[in-house]
Amino acid sequence: MQGKSNTLRYFLVKLLELLITLFLVSVMTFAAFSIIPGDAASVMLGPNATPEQVESLRAEMGLDKPLYEQYFNWLTSACTGDLGRSASFGVSVSQLIVQRLPVTLGMSIIALIMVILVSYPAALISARRPGRLGDQICSVLGHMLFAIPPFVLSLIIIFVTSALFGIVTVGRYVKPSEGFFSFVYCLLLPSFCIALPKIAMTFKFLRSSMIEQNASDHVRTARSHGLSDAVIEMRHVLPNSNVSAITVISLVLSDILGGSLIVEQVFNLPGLGRLLLTGISRRDFPLLSGMILYLAFITVFLYFLADILTALADPRIRIK
């Protein structure tokens, strides 16, 4: 009974932390855009609009009301999924995010699969014999991938795959409605560019965790009982290493889901990263505030999910 109450209390505390963080982000976001000169009305009407026209649109949009009332209206609308109307596109911010989300979400899923499929085997090879040739090769490759800037990596991969071999047509985007497999195919190369640095980061954390697990007492006991390395890794090393891996993968996924701006620009993909850049270049304050709130929600929710999964994987965390 005590264990169940500790678990419930842990989940409620984490949920409360999520809500408080989102509330503080919304306050800071609204305050930041409130003190910046200009507003959505002046952006929508352009520089040639008269002061009377600007004031009329400000009154229509509710921008002439006190700041606390504007914030309350904006927050209540955001809680229902209404993030306002874009000043430059003329449609709702939520609609723009939904339109661009399949690109970023597709790249995120593909990149995450690549990260898991490569980083786990590489970490197992390195942690099995630390300091040996396999470990040194994986470590050097990991450092190289982590050090190369994303735009340089993207350009190198484009040159190798497209210019030399003609494998992928860069800049061609296919919507999911036009063909699912064509949609996945056009995202493979940008997803690979996104995944490579994340593979290096995930590999580094997994390697350290697996080396620590291999040196632990229960693994040495299992090895002394004659269990093979494969059995020890599957039963003891991997399950215990997953606790730290969950946190790292949540960081990787939140970074990717936020929109890989550089990769989307290089490959000319209409994702969330390009949408954010468009909002910055056009001073589209409703779009920017909605995008920031979306990014904050994705990041905080994934951290919350990582805390819950970590607590489920390691009961000692929620007991504390």
Query: DSSP letters of 64-82?
Result: TS-HHHHHHHHHHHHHTT-
pLDDT tens-digit map of 187-226: 888 888 888 888 888 888 888 888 877 777 777 777 777 7
Short-list 149, 162, 164, 151, CA closest to 188:
162
In tens, the pLDDT along 47-95 reads: 666 777 667 766 766 666 777 787 888 888 888 888 878 877 878 888 8
> Does the structure show a pLDDT above 70 at 2?
no
Would you say residue 37 has pLDDT above 70? no
Compute the CA torsion angle 100, 105, 110, 116 (nearest 10 deg).
150
pTM of the model: 0.79
Topology adopted by domain 99-273: MetI-like fold (1.10.3720)
pLDDT at position 249, please? 78
pLDDT greater than 80 at residue 243? no
User: Which pLDDT band, with edges at 50, 70 and 90, does 168 fall under?
Assistant: low
Confidence band of 98 (pLDDT split at 50, 70, 90): confident
Which distant-in-sequence residues (6+ apart) come within 8 Å of 232 by Cβ?
Answer: 219, 222, 223
Provide CB contacts within 8 A for 110, sequence distance 6+. Answer: 184, 187, 188, 191, 195
Instruction: Give the confidence band of 170 by pLDDT, cuts at 50, 70, 90.
Output: low
Residue 234 has pLDDT above 70, yes or no: yes
Q: Which one is predicted more confidently, 219 or 46?
A: 219
State the pLDDT confidence band at 259, using cuts at 50, 70 and 90: low
Q: What is the pLDDT of residue 314?
A: 64
DSSP-assigned letter for residue 85: B
End-to-end CA distance of the chain: 16
- The pLDDT, as a whole number, for residue 309 is 78
CB count in 10 Å sphere of residue 87: 23
Residue-averaged pLDDT of the chain: 77
pLDDT digits (tens, 9 = 90+) for 270-285: 888 888 888 877 777 7
The length of the chain is 320
Question: What residue ranges of the chain are covered by domains with CATH 1.10.3720.10?
Answer: 99-273
Above 70 in pLDDT, residue 248? Answer: yes
Give the type of residue at 111.
A
pLDDT tens for each residue of 174-183: 888 788 888 8
pLDDT at 46: 63
C-alpha–C-alpha distance, residues 20 and 248, integer Å: 23
Residues 256 and 107 sit within 8 Å (Cβ to Cβ) = yes
Pick from 122, 114, 273, 119: nearest CA to 194: 114
Give every CB contact of residue 284 below 8 A, 6+ residues apart in sequence: 40, 43, 86, 87, 88, 89, 278
